[in-house]
Structure 1
Amino acid sequence: MKRPLIRMSIAVAALVGSIATAMGPAFAASPVDKLSFYSEQYPPFNYQEDGEPKGISIDLLEAILKEAGAETTVGDVQFAPWARGYDLALNRPGTVLFATTRTAKREDKFLWVGPITATRIGVLGAQGTADVSKPTDLNGARTATIRDDVAEQLLTEAGVSESALMPQGKAKPIVRLLEAGRADYWAYETNVAQYLLDAHGAEKPYEVKYVLSESELYFALNKETPQAQVTAFREAYQAVVDSGRRDEIVAGH
């Protein structure tokens, strides 16, 4: 009496297995779903507004995730101070940090997917503040930076003393320092800095005093991230680029 039931169970199992095999891609999780995404308040590239992630990088990531067939969404992006996200990307496999300026100093620290778009790093100061002809001019001033940001790294590489820098975890305290006259300059991405000065209610007019670097923004992946995850993310990015969607996203902002 038991043998028909056993044969039926085997037949059902075989049928389910055949269906799963035939529809494998629909059931298989994308390798991209194993990645963890970290970002910061860096408008207009990536930021949160009323709890919703927005910006050029966010829209591009959304297109990449869809292309990869991932269940992960941009709602899963974790926003954190830059220094924390940078440390995680350096030390935790599967971590993706964006938008990250690709520089010679950082080249061997990460795996890179991009570019996302162009970026310009500079030194801003209030109108009337002394002009800056070279980075070492800042040794006689007080320049605010975001801790571990590329602008801070570029200044120290150019010979600016660490004692002349005022590293902060976020932008809002920097705006307060500038407005109160306790900082003379701010070294940062110029578009982002102007956006944040306006957003945080700066009353003084600010201008770019010196351009440190013109580069490009990328997704930076931890170097020990499994190759299957890197390849899946990179191929999805490239498909978005080839379709023209990346250019549409950048132009739309």
Structure 2
Amino acid sequence: MGILLRHIFILIIIGCSLSVTVIKTGWSEDLLFFTEQYPPYNFTGPNGKVSGISTEIVQEIMKRTGFAYRLKLTPWKRAYELTLSQKNTCLFTTGRTTERENLFKWITPLTENPIVLFARPTSTIKIMQLSDLSEYRIGGYLGDAAVDYLVTRNIPVETVRDDKLNVRKLQGGRIDLWVTGEMAGQALADKTGHDIKKIFTLTAIAGGIACNLHLSNLITTRLQQELNTLYQEGFIDRIYQKYNPDLPVPVYKTK
């Protein structure tokens, strides 16, 4: 009996060791976070480093977890495709839409982003409902949730790979309307020195961190827990106040 108990004890120790190894292996590689130029949520700051509301939230989450990570500024479409295909990757700020829900593991919310239609300041276009859009040329950003919102409702959108081009197209009369996030669109227009006016709000989309489906649940659960804590401590409110007190702060709900 003594020998048998010793063998069982040894097997238990080995089993525990293997369990620890599996957990560590899930965290052994750096997480790679992709993001894009989407002010004020993520953008290149004056010092050349990635900054913004969502960026600072992600950085604080990672600081608290202690997980090794890298942050890479990448064109949206490319970043989106890489996150779908590479297991240790995440992407922010990603609109959490119905179409994307089952494509990623989510850590949310980072933002609550109104999706709007902009026009030239002199435009007389009036939109009361989606059916009113059929007679207008609409521009958008390739792969953007704002574009997806219209396309899935059978409203065609002309897309470009750089959203700044839509500001120029709008001013030049090559499109009648520009569909985009309200704050990001206004920030781009201000940066390029163009005036625009909001004429219609389509919806509001929660934005968050979208991670590859094969990323360990241990990691995504921990990231969500730390985001929850940031809301509870008032960190999220302070970050929004820092960048723009008028920005809508996501409504935090206890999980």
The 1:221/1:127 distance shift into structure 2, 3 A limit, reads: same
Within 5 Å, give how 1:21-100 maps onto structure 2.
Answer: 31=27, 34-50=30-46, 51-72=48-69, 76-100=70-94
**Displacement, 1:30?**
9.0
Partner secondary structure for residue 229 of structure 1: helix
Pair 1:190 & 2:182 matched: yes
| Structure 1 residues without counterparts, runs of 5 or longer | 1-23
Structure 1 position 104, deviation (Å) = 1.6
Taking structure 2 as the reference length, what is the TM-score of the superposition? 0.79
What is the deviation of 1:29?
9.4
Q: Distance in 1 between matches of 2:164 and 2:114?
A: 20
CA distance in 2, matches of 1:213, 1:67: 33
Distance 2:189 2:121 in 1: 14
- The one-letter code matched in structure 2 to 1:110 is F
Q: Retained in 2: the 8 A contact 1:126–1:207?
A: yes
2:202 is the alignment partner of 1:212: yes
Give the CA deviation at 1:160: 0.6
Which amino acid in 1 is paired with 2:92? F
Report the CA distance between 1:196 and its aligned residue. Answer: 0.2
Q: Would you identify which runs of 4 or more consecutive aligned residues in structure 1 move more than 3 Å?
A: none
Give the unaligned 5+ runs of structure 2: 1-19, 244-255
Is 1:237 the counterpart of 2:232? The answer is: no
* 1-structure distance, mates of 2:27, 2:225: 12
Distance 2:25 2:110 in 1: 25
Whole-angstrom CA distance in 1 between matches of 2:117 and 2:51: 25
One-letter amino acid of the counterpart of residue 42, structure 2 = N
Q: CA deviation at 1:32?
A: 8.5
Say if 2:95 is the partner of 1:101. yes
Q: Deviations over 1:118-139 (max 9, x none)?
A: 2100111112321222223222
What is the CA distance between 1:142 and its match in structure 2?
Answer: 1.4
Q: Which amino acid aligns with 1:124?
A: F
Q: Are 2:166 and 1:170 equivalent residues in the alignment?
A: no
1:116 touches 1:219 (CA, 8 Å); kept in 2?
yes
Q: What is the count of residue pairs matched by the alignment? A: 220
Q: TM-score, normalised by structure 1?
A: 0.80
- Residue 199 of structure 1 and its aligned partner are, at CA, apart by 0.4
CA positional deviation for 1:69: 1.5
Seq. identity, %: 27
**Aligned with residue 145 of structure 1, among 122, 140, 146:** 140
Structure 1 vs Structure 2 CA RMSD: 2.2
Bigger-Rg structure (1/2): 1
Q: In the alignment, is the contact (CA less than 8 A) between 1:135 and 1:159 conserved in 2?
A: no
1:124 counterpart residue number: 118
